[in-house]
Protein backbone atom coordinates (compact mmCIF):
# COMPACT_ATOMS: atom_id res chain seq x y z
CA UNK A 1 0.00 0.00 0.00
CA UNK A 2 1.31 3.40 -0.97
CA UNK A 3 1.27 6.10 1.72
CA UNK A 4 0.67 9.64 0.61
CA UNK A 5 3.40 11.69 2.37
CA UNK A 6 1.21 14.81 2.33
CA UNK A 7 -1.33 13.04 4.52
CA UNK A 8 1.39 12.28 7.05
CA UNK A 9 2.30 15.94 7.35
CA UNK A 10 1.20 17.06 10.80
CA UNK A 11 0.27 20.72 11.11
CA UNK A 12 2.45 23.00 13.22
CA UNK A 13 -0.40 23.55 15.71
CA UNK A 14 -0.70 19.83 16.27
CA UNK A 15 3.05 19.47 16.72
CA UNK A 16 3.05 22.29 19.27
CA UNK A 17 0.13 20.69 21.15
CA UNK A 18 2.04 17.38 21.14
CA UNK A 19 5.13 19.18 22.47
CA UNK A 20 2.98 20.72 25.18
CA UNK A 21 1.44 17.40 26.24
CA UNK A 22 4.81 15.64 26.23
CA UNK A 23 6.32 18.55 28.21
CA UNK A 24 3.51 18.28 30.76
CA UNK A 25 3.99 14.51 31.06
CA UNK A 26 7.75 14.80 31.28
CA UNK A 27 7.49 17.60 33.86
CA UNK A 28 5.18 15.55 36.10
CA UNK A 29 7.41 12.47 35.65
CA UNK A 30 10.51 14.49 36.60
CA UNK A 31 8.89 15.98 39.70
CA UNK A 32 7.65 12.53 40.79
CA UNK A 33 11.02 10.86 40.33
CA UNK A 34 13.17 13.67 41.68
CA UNK A 35 14.50 14.81 38.28
CA UNK A 36 13.44 18.45 38.67
CA UNK A 37 17.08 19.56 38.87
CA UNK A 38 17.91 17.69 35.70
CA UNK A 39 15.06 19.49 33.96
CA UNK A 40 16.11 22.93 35.15
CA UNK A 41 19.74 22.30 34.14
CA UNK A 42 19.32 20.48 30.85
CA UNK A 43 15.78 20.94 29.50
CA UNK A 44 14.59 24.39 30.61
CA UNK A 45 17.50 26.17 28.82
CA UNK A 46 16.20 24.82 25.49
CA UNK A 47 12.92 26.59 26.19
CA UNK A 48 14.82 29.71 27.11
CA UNK A 49 16.70 29.58 23.81
CA UNK A 50 13.38 29.33 21.95
CA UNK A 51 11.98 32.37 23.78
CA UNK A 52 15.20 34.29 23.10
CA UNK A 53 15.01 33.44 19.40
CA UNK A 54 11.48 34.81 19.25
CA UNK A 55 12.35 37.89 21.26
CA UNK A 56 15.37 38.46 19.02
CA UNK A 57 12.90 39.15 16.20
CA UNK A 58 10.53 41.44 18.12
CA UNK A 59 12.38 44.72 17.41
CA UNK A 60 13.34 43.87 13.79
CA UNK A 61 9.75 42.89 13.00
CA UNK A 62 8.38 46.14 14.41
CA UNK A 63 10.96 48.26 12.63
CA UNK A 64 10.53 46.63 9.23
CA UNK A 65 6.85 45.67 9.22
CA UNK A 66 5.58 48.79 10.86
CA UNK A 67 7.49 51.33 8.76
CA UNK A 68 6.55 49.32 5.65
CA UNK A 69 2.95 48.94 6.83
CA UNK A 70 2.64 52.70 7.16
CA UNK A 71 4.18 53.79 3.87
CA UNK A 72 2.17 51.09 2.12
CA UNK A 73 -0.98 52.81 3.39
CA UNK A 74 -0.13 55.46 0.75
CA UNK A 75 -1.65 58.47 2.55
CA UNK A 76 -1.39 60.03 5.99
CA UNK A 77 -5.18 60.38 5.88
CA UNK A 78 -5.54 56.59 5.50
CA UNK A 79 -3.24 56.11 8.47
CA UNK A 80 -5.23 58.54 10.63
CA UNK A 81 -8.48 56.67 9.96
CA UNK A 82 -7.02 53.29 10.88
CA UNK A 83 -5.18 54.70 13.89
CA UNK A 84 -8.33 56.23 15.38
CA UNK A 85 -10.32 53.02 14.80
CA UNK A 86 -7.61 50.77 16.25
CA UNK A 87 -7.08 52.89 19.36
CA UNK A 88 -10.83 53.12 19.99
CA UNK A 89 -11.18 49.37 19.50
CA UNK A 90 -8.37 48.64 21.94
CA UNK A 91 -9.70 51.05 24.53
CA UNK A 92 -13.26 49.74 24.38
CA UNK A 93 -12.26 46.05 24.59
CA UNK A 94 -9.92 46.80 27.50
CA UNK A 95 -12.68 48.60 29.40
CA UNK A 96 -15.05 45.66 28.72
CA UNK A 97 -12.37 43.26 30.02
CA UNK A 98 -11.73 45.24 33.22
CA UNK A 99 -15.45 45.56 33.86
CA UNK A 100 -15.94 41.80 33.48
CA UNK A 101 -13.11 41.31 35.98
CA UNK A 102 -14.68 43.69 38.50
CA UNK A 103 -18.13 42.11 38.08
CA UNK A 104 -16.83 38.56 38.61
CA UNK A 105 -14.70 39.53 41.60
CA UNK A 106 -17.54 41.47 43.25
CA UNK A 107 -20.10 38.77 42.45
CA UNK A 108 -18.07 35.71 43.42
CA UNK A 109 -16.17 37.33 46.32
CA UNK A 110 -13.06 35.10 46.10
CA UNK A 111 -11.33 37.05 48.89
CA UNK A 112 -13.96 36.25 51.47
CA UNK A 113 -13.15 32.54 51.54
CA UNK A 114 -9.45 33.14 52.08
CA UNK A 115 -8.19 31.75 55.42
CA UNK A 116 -6.54 34.33 57.72
CA UNK A 117 -3.57 32.17 58.72
CA UNK A 118 -2.68 31.67 55.04
CA UNK A 119 -2.87 35.42 54.53
CA UNK A 120 -0.12 35.99 57.13
CA UNK A 121 2.01 33.19 55.68
CA UNK A 122 1.85 34.54 52.16
CA UNK A 123 2.61 38.09 53.18
CA UNK A 124 5.68 36.85 55.01
CA UNK A 125 6.77 34.79 51.99
CA UNK A 126 6.24 37.74 49.68
CA UNK A 127 8.30 40.11 51.76
CA UNK A 128 11.23 37.68 51.47
CA UNK A 129 10.72 37.55 47.70
CA UNK A 130 10.26 41.26 47.24
CA UNK A 131 13.48 41.87 49.14
CA UNK A 132 15.20 39.77 46.48
CA UNK A 133 13.46 41.62 43.64
CA UNK A 134 12.27 45.01 44.79
CA UNK A 135 9.27 46.19 42.75
CA UNK A 136 9.52 49.82 41.76
CA UNK A 137 6.56 52.13 42.27
CA UNK A 138 5.50 53.95 39.10
CA UNK A 139 3.45 57.06 38.49
CA UNK A 140 0.25 56.39 36.48
CA UNK A 141 1.24 58.60 33.54
CA UNK A 142 4.88 57.54 33.45
CA UNK A 143 4.04 55.27 30.51
CA UNK A 144 3.28 58.34 28.34
CA UNK A 145 6.72 59.78 29.05
CA UNK A 146 8.29 56.39 28.42
CA UNK A 147 6.79 56.17 24.92
CA UNK A 148 9.16 58.82 23.59
CA UNK A 149 12.73 57.58 23.09
CA UNK A 150 15.61 59.93 23.84
CA UNK A 151 18.01 57.78 21.89
CA UNK A 152 16.78 55.48 19.15
CA UNK A 153 19.86 53.26 19.26
CA UNK A 154 19.62 52.55 22.95
CA UNK A 155 15.84 52.01 22.59
CA UNK A 156 16.47 49.43 19.83
CA UNK A 157 18.75 47.51 22.13
CA UNK A 158 16.05 46.76 24.72
CA UNK A 159 12.92 44.67 24.19
CA UNK A 160 11.34 46.63 27.04
CA UNK A 161 11.42 49.73 24.80
CA UNK A 162 9.05 48.29 22.22
CA UNK A 163 6.64 51.17 22.55
CA UNK A 164 9.49 53.60 21.82
CA UNK A 165 10.37 51.65 18.68
CA UNK A 166 6.72 51.76 17.62
CA UNK A 167 6.70 55.53 18.16
CA UNK A 168 9.86 55.91 16.06
CA UNK A 169 8.53 53.57 13.34
CA UNK A 170 5.22 55.42 13.05
CA UNK A 171 7.02 58.76 12.72
CA UNK A 172 9.49 57.36 10.18
CA UNK A 173 6.62 55.81 8.18
CA UNK A 174 4.83 59.17 8.16
CA UNK A 175 8.02 60.96 7.06
CA UNK A 176 8.48 58.52 4.16
CA UNK A 177 4.81 58.99 3.19
CA UNK A 178 5.21 62.75 3.22
CA UNK A 179 8.22 62.75 0.86
CA UNK A 180 8.12 62.32 -2.93
CA UNK A 181 8.26 58.63 -3.92
CA UNK A 182 11.49 58.85 -5.93
CA UNK A 183 13.32 60.35 -2.95
CA UNK A 184 12.55 57.35 -0.71
CA UNK A 185 12.69 54.60 -3.34
CA UNK A 186 15.93 53.00 -2.15
CA UNK A 187 14.89 53.07 1.52
CA UNK A 188 11.59 51.40 0.63
CA UNK A 189 13.39 48.72 -1.36
CA UNK A 190 15.72 48.07 1.55
CA UNK A 191 12.90 47.88 4.10
CA UNK A 192 10.84 45.62 1.80
CA UNK A 193 13.64 43.05 1.57
CA UNK A 194 14.51 43.37 5.27
CA UNK A 195 10.85 42.62 6.02
CA UNK A 196 10.92 39.49 3.85
CA UNK A 197 14.07 38.30 5.60
CA UNK A 198 12.54 38.79 9.07
CA UNK A 199 9.42 36.86 8.04
CA UNK A 200 11.59 34.00 6.76
CA UNK A 201 13.43 33.99 10.08
CA UNK A 202 10.08 33.64 11.90
CA UNK A 203 9.30 30.61 9.78
CA UNK A 204 12.66 29.01 10.53
CA UNK A 205 12.40 29.63 14.27
CA UNK A 206 8.82 28.39 14.42
CA UNK A 207 9.90 25.03 13.05
CA UNK A 208 11.59 24.55 16.45
CA UNK A 209 8.43 25.55 18.33
CA UNK A 210 7.34 22.01 19.31
CA UNK A 211 10.71 21.33 20.95
CA UNK A 212 10.80 24.80 22.55
CA UNK A 213 7.28 24.42 23.92
CA UNK A 214 8.09 20.95 25.28
CA UNK A 215 11.06 22.37 27.21
CA UNK A 216 9.14 25.44 28.42
CA UNK A 217 6.21 23.44 29.79
CA UNK A 218 8.43 20.82 31.44
CA UNK A 219 10.43 23.68 33.01
CA UNK A 220 7.31 25.47 34.27
CA UNK A 221 5.97 22.27 35.88
CA UNK A 222 9.23 21.72 37.75
CA UNK A 223 9.44 25.38 38.72
CA UNK A 224 5.90 25.46 40.14
CA UNK A 225 6.38 22.15 41.96
CA UNK A 226 9.73 23.33 43.33
CA UNK A 227 7.93 26.28 44.85
CA UNK A 228 5.30 23.97 46.28
CA UNK A 229 7.33 21.69 48.50
CA UNK A 230 7.05 23.63 51.75
CA UNK A 231 3.31 23.44 52.06
CA UNK A 232 2.60 25.80 49.21
CA UNK A 233 0.24 23.19 47.74
CA UNK A 234 -2.14 23.98 50.59
CA UNK A 235 -1.74 27.67 49.83
CA UNK A 236 -2.40 27.06 46.15
CA UNK A 237 -5.69 25.44 47.10
CA UNK A 238 -6.75 28.55 49.01
CA UNK A 239 -5.92 30.57 45.94
CA UNK A 240 -7.94 28.27 43.70
CA UNK A 241 -11.10 30.35 44.01
CA UNK A 242 -9.30 33.54 43.05
CA UNK A 243 -7.57 31.80 40.12
CA UNK A 244 -10.93 30.32 39.10
CA UNK A 245 -12.42 33.81 39.05
CA UNK A 246 -9.67 35.09 36.73
CA UNK A 247 -10.00 32.03 34.49
CA UNK A 248 -13.79 32.44 34.30
CA UNK A 249 -13.32 36.06 33.23
CA UNK A 250 -10.72 35.11 30.61
CA UNK A 251 -13.03 32.38 29.28
CA UNK A 252 -15.85 34.93 29.03
CA UNK A 253 -13.63 37.06 26.82
CA UNK A 254 -12.49 34.19 24.60
CA UNK A 255 -15.78 32.30 24.36
CA UNK A 256 -18.36 35.10 24.44
CA UNK A 257 -17.03 38.63 23.89
CA UNK A 258 -14.54 37.95 21.06
CA UNK A 259 -16.92 35.67 19.12
CA UNK A 260 -19.62 38.38 19.38
CA UNK A 261 -17.19 41.02 18.06
CA UNK A 262 -16.02 38.68 15.29
CA UNK A 263 -19.58 37.90 14.27
CA UNK A 264 -20.87 41.47 14.41
CA UNK A 265 -17.91 43.34 12.99
CA UNK A 266 -15.37 41.17 11.22
CA UNK A 267 -17.86 38.77 9.62
CA UNK A 268 -15.16 36.11 9.78
CA UNK A 269 -16.05 32.48 10.55
CA UNK A 270 -15.34 32.00 14.26
CA UNK A 271 -13.99 28.45 13.89
CA UNK A 272 -11.74 29.54 11.03
CA UNK A 273 -10.44 32.41 13.16
CA UNK A 274 -9.56 30.26 16.18
CA UNK A 275 -8.01 27.56 14.00
CA UNK A 276 -5.91 30.20 12.27
CA UNK A 277 -4.49 31.77 15.41
CA UNK A 278 -3.99 28.51 17.34
CA UNK A 279 -0.17 28.41 16.83
CA UNK A 280 0.06 31.98 18.19
CA UNK A 281 -2.14 31.11 21.18
CA UNK A 282 -0.02 28.06 21.98
CA UNK A 283 3.17 30.13 21.71
CA UNK A 284 1.69 32.84 23.97
CA UNK A 285 0.65 30.19 26.49
CA UNK A 286 4.13 28.65 26.55
CA UNK A 287 6.19 31.85 26.56
CA UNK A 288 3.92 34.15 28.66
CA UNK A 289 5.08 37.01 26.47
CA UNK A 290 3.05 38.92 23.88
CA UNK A 291 6.31 40.45 22.61
CA UNK A 292 7.94 37.09 22.02
CA UNK A 293 4.73 35.85 20.38
CA UNK A 294 4.39 38.89 18.07
CA UNK A 295 6.20 37.34 15.07
CA UNK A 296 4.00 34.24 15.32
CA UNK A 297 0.80 36.27 15.78
CA UNK A 298 1.65 38.23 12.65
CA UNK A 299 2.40 35.11 10.65
CA UNK A 300 -0.92 33.50 11.69
CA UNK A 301 -3.01 36.62 11.06
CA UNK A 302 -1.38 37.28 7.66
CA UNK A 303 -1.14 33.77 6.29
CA UNK A 304 -3.90 31.79 7.99
CA UNK A 305 -6.51 34.56 8.24
CA UNK A 306 -5.64 36.37 5.01
CA UNK A 307 -5.29 39.77 6.58
CA UNK A 308 -3.76 42.59 4.56
CA UNK A 309 -0.22 42.86 5.89
CA UNK A 310 -0.38 46.69 5.83
CA UNK A 311 -3.14 46.42 8.42
CA UNK A 312 -1.62 43.67 10.58
CA UNK A 313 1.76 45.47 10.56
CA UNK A 314 0.12 48.45 12.16
CA UNK A 315 -2.43 46.76 14.42
CA UNK A 316 -0.41 43.88 15.93
CA UNK A 317 2.78 45.55 17.23
CA UNK A 318 0.68 48.27 18.89
CA UNK A 319 -1.68 45.61 20.23
CA UNK A 320 1.14 43.50 21.65
CA UNK A 321 2.32 46.42 23.73
CA UNK A 322 -0.80 48.40 24.61
CA UNK A 323 -3.79 46.09 24.24
CA UNK A 324 -3.82 43.56 27.05
CA UNK A 325 -7.40 42.52 27.71
CA UNK A 326 -6.36 39.46 29.70
CA UNK A 327 -3.94 41.44 31.83
CA UNK A 328 -6.41 44.23 32.57
CA UNK A 329 -9.12 41.72 33.54
CA UNK A 330 -6.68 39.92 35.80
CA UNK A 331 -5.62 43.19 37.44
CA UNK A 332 -9.22 44.08 38.23
CA UNK A 333 -9.93 40.67 39.79
CA UNK A 334 -6.64 40.74 41.71
CA UNK A 335 -7.23 44.24 43.11
CA UNK A 336 -10.76 43.44 44.29
CA UNK A 337 -9.60 40.06 45.66
CA UNK A 338 -6.77 41.62 47.68
CA UNK A 339 -9.12 44.30 49.02
CA UNK A 340 -11.59 41.59 50.09
CA UNK A 341 -8.88 39.60 51.88
CA UNK A 342 -7.86 42.72 53.78
CA UNK A 343 -11.50 43.32 54.65
CA UNK A 344 -11.68 46.61 52.74
CA UNK A 345 -15.02 47.84 51.42
CA UNK A 346 -14.83 49.15 47.88
CA UNK A 347 -17.41 51.80 46.98
CA UNK A 348 -18.51 52.77 43.48
CA UNK A 349 -15.80 55.47 43.26
CA UNK A 350 -13.09 52.97 44.16
CA UNK A 351 -14.41 50.49 41.61
CA UNK A 352 -14.43 53.17 38.90
CA UNK A 353 -10.88 54.12 39.87
CA UNK A 354 -9.86 50.45 39.55
CA UNK A 355 -11.44 50.31 36.08
CA UNK A 356 -9.59 53.46 35.00
CA UNK A 357 -6.22 52.58 36.46
CA UNK A 358 -6.34 48.92 35.37
CA UNK A 359 -7.02 50.15 31.83
CA UNK A 360 -4.07 52.57 31.95
CA UNK A 361 -1.84 50.09 33.77
CA UNK A 362 -2.43 47.35 31.21
CA UNK A 363 -1.49 49.82 28.47
CA UNK A 364 1.72 50.54 30.34
CA UNK A 365 2.55 46.90 31.11
CA UNK A 366 5.45 45.48 29.13
CA UNK A 367 4.64 42.46 26.98
CA UNK A 368 6.86 40.15 29.02
CA UNK A 369 6.25 37.46 31.66
CA UNK A 370 5.04 38.77 35.00
CA UNK A 371 4.71 42.41 33.89
CA UNK A 372 1.00 42.46 34.70
CA UNK A 373 1.65 41.67 38.34
CA UNK A 374 4.36 44.30 38.75
CA UNK A 375 2.22 46.99 37.18
CA UNK A 376 -0.71 45.91 39.39
CA UNK A 377 0.93 48.04 42.05
CA UNK A 378 -0.40 51.14 40.27
CA UNK A 379 -3.94 49.84 40.60
CA UNK A 380 -3.47 48.93 44.26
CA UNK A 381 -1.93 52.34 45.01
CA UNK A 382 -4.80 54.18 43.35
CA UNK A 383 -7.34 52.90 45.88
CA UNK A 384 -4.98 52.48 48.84
CA UNK A 385 -4.97 48.69 48.86
CA UNK A 386 -1.80 47.52 50.70
CA UNK A 387 0.97 46.57 48.28
CA UNK A 388 1.78 43.59 50.50
CA UNK A 389 -1.38 42.12 49.00
CA UNK A 390 0.69 41.12 45.98
CA UNK A 391 1.97 38.34 48.23
CA UNK A 392 -1.44 36.74 48.18
CA UNK A 393 -1.40 36.13 44.45
CA UNK A 394 2.30 35.48 43.85
CA UNK A 395 2.12 31.68 43.92
CA UNK A 396 -0.45 31.35 41.12
CA UNK A 397 0.83 34.18 38.96
CA UNK A 398 2.74 32.12 36.40
CA UNK A 399 -0.13 29.87 35.25
CA UNK A 400 -2.46 32.88 35.16
CA UNK A 401 0.17 34.79 33.17
CA UNK A 402 0.21 31.99 30.59
CA UNK A 403 -3.56 32.24 30.23
CA UNK A 404 -3.84 36.02 30.19
CA UNK A 405 -1.07 36.30 27.57
CA UNK A 406 -3.05 33.89 25.37
CA UNK A 407 -6.08 36.18 25.74
CA UNK A 408 -3.94 39.29 25.10
CA UNK A 409 -2.74 38.12 21.69
CA UNK A 410 -6.23 36.82 20.81
CA UNK A 411 -7.64 40.31 21.43
CA UNK A 412 -5.01 41.82 19.12
CA UNK A 413 -5.84 39.30 16.40
CA UNK A 414 -9.59 40.02 16.73
CA UNK A 415 -8.78 43.70 16.16
CA UNK A 416 -6.58 42.91 13.14
CA UNK A 417 -9.25 40.87 11.33
CA UNK A 418 -11.93 43.43 12.18
CA UNK A 419 -9.84 46.32 10.83
CA UNK A 420 -9.09 44.19 7.77
CA UNK A 421 -12.77 44.00 6.98
CA UNK A 422 -13.28 47.76 7.14
CA UNK A 423 -10.05 49.07 5.68
CA UNK A 424 -8.74 46.49 3.23
CA UNK A 425 -10.73 47.79 0.29
CA UNK A 426 -10.10 51.45 1.04
CA UNK A 427 -6.33 50.90 0.86
CA UNK A 428 -6.29 49.75 -2.76
CA UNK A 429 -3.79 47.25 -4.16
N1 LIG B 1 2.77 38.38 30.12
C2 LIG B 1 1.77 39.29 29.63
C3 LIG B 1 2.01 39.58 28.16
O4 LIG B 1 3.12 39.50 27.70
C5 LIG B 1 1.73 40.57 30.43
C6 LIG B 1 1.28 40.25 31.83
O7 LIG B 1 0.06 40.24 32.05
O8 LIG B 1 2.12 39.96 32.68
O9 LIG B 1 1.08 39.88 27.45
Query: What domains can you pick out in the chain, each with its CATH number?
Result: 10-423 (1.10.3860)
pLDDT at 133 over 60: no
Q: Which pairs with CB-CB distance under 8 Å and at least 24 residues apart come from 130-139?
A: 130/390, 130/391, 135/374, 135/377, 135/387, 135/390, 137/377, 137/381, 138/364, 138/375, 138/377, 138/378
pLDDT at 6 over 50: no
pLDDT at 8 over 50: no
Q: Residue with the nearest Cα to atom 1 of ligand 1?
A: 369
pLDDT at 123 over 50: yes
**Mean of pLDDT values over 137-143:** 67
**Mean of pLDDT values over 6-30:** 80
- Ligand 1 nearest-atom number relative to CA 326: 7
- 55: Cβ below 6 Å to ligand 1? no
CA of 328 to the centre of ligand 1 (A): 10
- 327: Cβ below 6 Å to ligand 1? yes
CA of 398 to the centre of ligand 1 (A): 10
- Ligand 1 pocket test target in 289, 378, 401, 409 with most atoms within 8 Å of CB: 401
- 206: Cβ below 6 Å to ligand 1? no
**Mean of pLDDT values over 341-354:** 88
CA of 289 to the centre of ligand 1 (A): 6
pLDDT at 317 over 80: yes
pLDDT at 306 over 90: yes
**Mean of pLDDT values over 77-91:** 89
The angle that helices 397-427 and 209-228 make with each other, rounded to 10 degrees, is: 150
Question: Which residues neighbour 399 within 8 Å (Cβ) at sequence distance 6 or greater?
Answer: 220, 224, 243
- Ligand 1 nearest-atom number relative to CA 368: 4
Q: Residue with the nearest Cα to atom 7 of ligand 1?
A: 372
Task: With CA atoms as reference, report the closest residue to 98 among 366, 265, 335.
Answer: 335
- Ligand 1 nearest-atom number relative to CA 373: 8
Please give the C-alpha separations between residue 11 and each of 51, 54, 280, in angstroms, as whole numbers: 21, 20, 13
- 289: Cβ below 6 Å to ligand 1? yes
pLDDT at 134 over 70: no
**Which comes out higher in pLDDT, residue 409 or 20?**
409
At residue 124, the pLDDT reads: 65
pLDDT at 10 over 80: no
- 401: Cβ below 6 Å to ligand 1? yes
Q: Residue with the nearest Cα to atom 2 of ligand 1?
A: 405
CA of 97 to the centre of ligand 1 (A): 15
CA of 385 to the centre of ligand 1 (A): 22
Q: What is the pLDDT of residues 350-395, one digit of tens each?
A: 999 999 988 888 886 777 788 888 788 888 888 888 887 887 787 7
Name the region of 34 (left: φ>0; alpha: ψ -120 to 50; beta: rest). left
Q: Provide the mean pLDDT of the chain.
A: 85
Structure confidence at residue 138 as a pLDDT band (50, 70, 90): low
Q: Is 387 helix (H, G, I), strand (E, B) or coil?
A: helix
**Mean of pLDDT values over 188-192:** 93
Amino acid sequence: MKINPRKLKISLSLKIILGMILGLGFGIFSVTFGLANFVSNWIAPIGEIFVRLLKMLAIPIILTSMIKGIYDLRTVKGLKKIAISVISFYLITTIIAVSIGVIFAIGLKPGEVFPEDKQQLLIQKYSEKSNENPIEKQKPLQFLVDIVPDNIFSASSKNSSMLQIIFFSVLTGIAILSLKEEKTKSVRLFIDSANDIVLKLVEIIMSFAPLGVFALIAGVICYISGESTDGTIALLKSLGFYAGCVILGLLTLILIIYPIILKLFSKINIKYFFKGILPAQLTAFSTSSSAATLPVTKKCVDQNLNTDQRISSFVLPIGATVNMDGTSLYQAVAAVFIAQVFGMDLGIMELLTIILTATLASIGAAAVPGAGMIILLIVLNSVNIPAEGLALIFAVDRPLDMLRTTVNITGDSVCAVTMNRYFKDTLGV
